[in-house]
């Protein structure tokens, strides 16, 4: 509150921030703050011996990186992509002053949702039991649960590929998709939202196809690829434009050597192959794979090739992105100089 007699200004209320910090999880935040309520300090009143009131203390909520902050109306307030990133979620009220008749104003009050989306270089995409966890195990030092039944992976696992020159690339093993994931069937959005922040997609498919259960229709390897393409597109169209590698797994099984050449031929002529398929199965845009690699994750066959190609692909697209950024900066500099010259004239 202000002090009208001397024109004193009351202290501003404190702000509430959310800041990214390493080695912290949403579970830890929930446990340490059971009431899930954060209140900043109240600004002090203006007094005869202190005309300018002391501002209230700010409150900072520490969160892991990869967080997107939403209001209860679904409006995104900001994202925390790197350590130290900070977002203002509630602004403190203005102190009492002549403009508000010396009565302090209330600060903002929001109910917010902290939505975690993993940040990884590579995201593994595939139907259940395609061998994603086995491949992650072979690529990195991660030890995800591996079994012969679908949905072994129920929550994301992160593995780190460490190269001979100590370069590191993070790989996220995400729960398997099923048909209808885009409308939240199965693990749905809990999986698909994590794909958004990966640089590269690594599709893992079983050369023998996929069948969720004896009650469901078996799918060929070609059908599996097209259906994965469709699910990603229905969730978010720009996902199909991400750099992608197709790893055709279980090449150590019977008839795999016969099935692989046919798959390559079908992918080359994909539009002709799917002409007779029901339209609801077909995406509007087919993913263009940067490479197709036959592997056997269980035995380690071609795993080193996958590691090598992932690095090459990430570096290639990072270089392109850097060149585009430099070109945009150069163009902006030229436009700015032209604009300045025009104003001077």
pLDDT (tens digit per residue) in 224-236: 999 899 888 888 8
Query: Alpha helix locations (H) across the chain?
Result: 26-32, 132-139, 188-195, 221-235, 256-268, 270-273, 303-344
Q: How many residues does the chain have?
A: 345
With beta carbons less than 8 A apart as the criterion, state whether 185 and 235 touch: no
Q: How far are the Cα atoms of 11, 44, 95, 126 from residue 6, in angstroms, in the given order?
A: 15, 16, 15, 70
With beta carbons less than 8 A apart as the criterion, state whether 115 and 162 touch: no
DSSP-derived 3-state class of residue 245: strand
Q: Stretch 165-188: mean pLDDT, rounded?
A: 65
Residues β-bridged to residue 172: 123, 158
Q: Stretch 87-107: mean pLDDT, rounded?
A: 85
What pLDDT is stored for residue 294 in this prediction? 96
What pLDDT is stored for residue 308 in this prediction? 94
Q: What is the DSSP string of 148-198?
A: SSS----S-EEEEEE-TT--EEEEEE-PPP-TTGGGT-TTHHHHHHHHTT-
What pLDDT is stored for residue 2 in this prediction? 59
9 φ, ψ (degrees, to nearest 5): -110, 125
Most confident range, picked from 118-132, 212-226, 275-289: 275-289
Over 90: is that where the pLDDT of 200 sits?
yes
Over 50: is that where the pLDDT of 135 sits?
yes
Higher pLDDT, 28 or 264: 264
Q: Smallest Cα–Cα separation from 200: which of 267, 159, 251, 246?
A: 246
Over 70: is that where the pLDDT of 107 sits?
yes
Task: Encode pLDDT of 256-296 as tens digits.
Answer: 999 999 999 999 999 999 999 998 889 999 999 999 999 99
The region of weakest confidence among 43-52, 183-192, 317-326 is 183-192
Higher pLDDT, 158 or 263: 263
Separation CA 104–CA 43 (nearest Å): 9
What pLDDT is stored for residue 1 in this prediction? 57
Proportion of the chain above pLDDT 90, given as a percent:
32
Written as six digits, the tokens of 175 are 């729960």
pTM for this predicted structure: 0.69
Over 90: is that where the pLDDT of 5 sits?
no
Over 50: is that where the pLDDT of 154 sits?
no
Q: How far are the Cα atoms of 97, 206, 234, 291 from residue 287, in angstroms, in the given order?
A: 60, 18, 13, 11
């Amino acid at each position: 509150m202000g002090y009208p007699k001397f024109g004193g200004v009351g202290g501003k209320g404190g702000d509430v921030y959310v800041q990214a910090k390493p080695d912290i999880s949403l579970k830890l935040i929930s446990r340490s703050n059971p009431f899930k309520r954060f209140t900043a300090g109240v600004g002090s009143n203006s007094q005869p011996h202190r005309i300018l009131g002391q501002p209230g203390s700010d409150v900072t909520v520490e969160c892991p990186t990869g967080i997107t902050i939403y209001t209860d109306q679904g409006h995104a307030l900001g994202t925390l992509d790197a350590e130290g990133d900070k977002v203002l979620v509630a602004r403190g009220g203005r102190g009492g002053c002549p403009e508000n008749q010396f009565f302090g104003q209330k600060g903002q009050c929001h109910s917010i949702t902290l939505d975690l989306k993993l940040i990884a270089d590579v995201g593994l995409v595939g139907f259940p039991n395609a061998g994603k966890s086995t491949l992650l195990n072979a690529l990195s030092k991660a030890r995800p649960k591996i079994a012969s039944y679908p949905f072994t992976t129920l929550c994301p696992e992160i593995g780190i590929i460490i190269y001979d020159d100590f370069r590191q690339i993070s790989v996220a093993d995400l729960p398997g998709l099923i048909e209808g994931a885009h409308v939240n069937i199965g693990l749905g959005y809990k999986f698909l939202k994590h794909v958004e922040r990966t640089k590269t997609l690594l599709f893992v498919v079983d050369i023998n196809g996929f069948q969720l259960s004896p009650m469901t229709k078996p799918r060929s390897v070609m059908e599996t690829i097209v259906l994965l393409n469709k699910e990603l597109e229905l969730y978010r169209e720009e996902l199909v434009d991400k750099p992608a590698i197709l790893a055709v797994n279980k090449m150590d099984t019977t008839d795999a050597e016969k099935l692989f050449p046919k798959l390559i031929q079908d992918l080359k002529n994909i539009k002709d192959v799917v002409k007779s398929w029901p339209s609801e199965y077909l995406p509007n845009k087919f993913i263009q794979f940067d490479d197709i690699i036959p592997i056997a994750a269980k035995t380690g066959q071609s795993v080193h090739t996958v590691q090598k190609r992932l690095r090459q692909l990430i570096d290639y697209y990072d270089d392109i992105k850097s060149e585009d950024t430099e070109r945009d900066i150069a163009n902006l500099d030229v436009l700015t100089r032209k604009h300045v010259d025009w104003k001077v004239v």
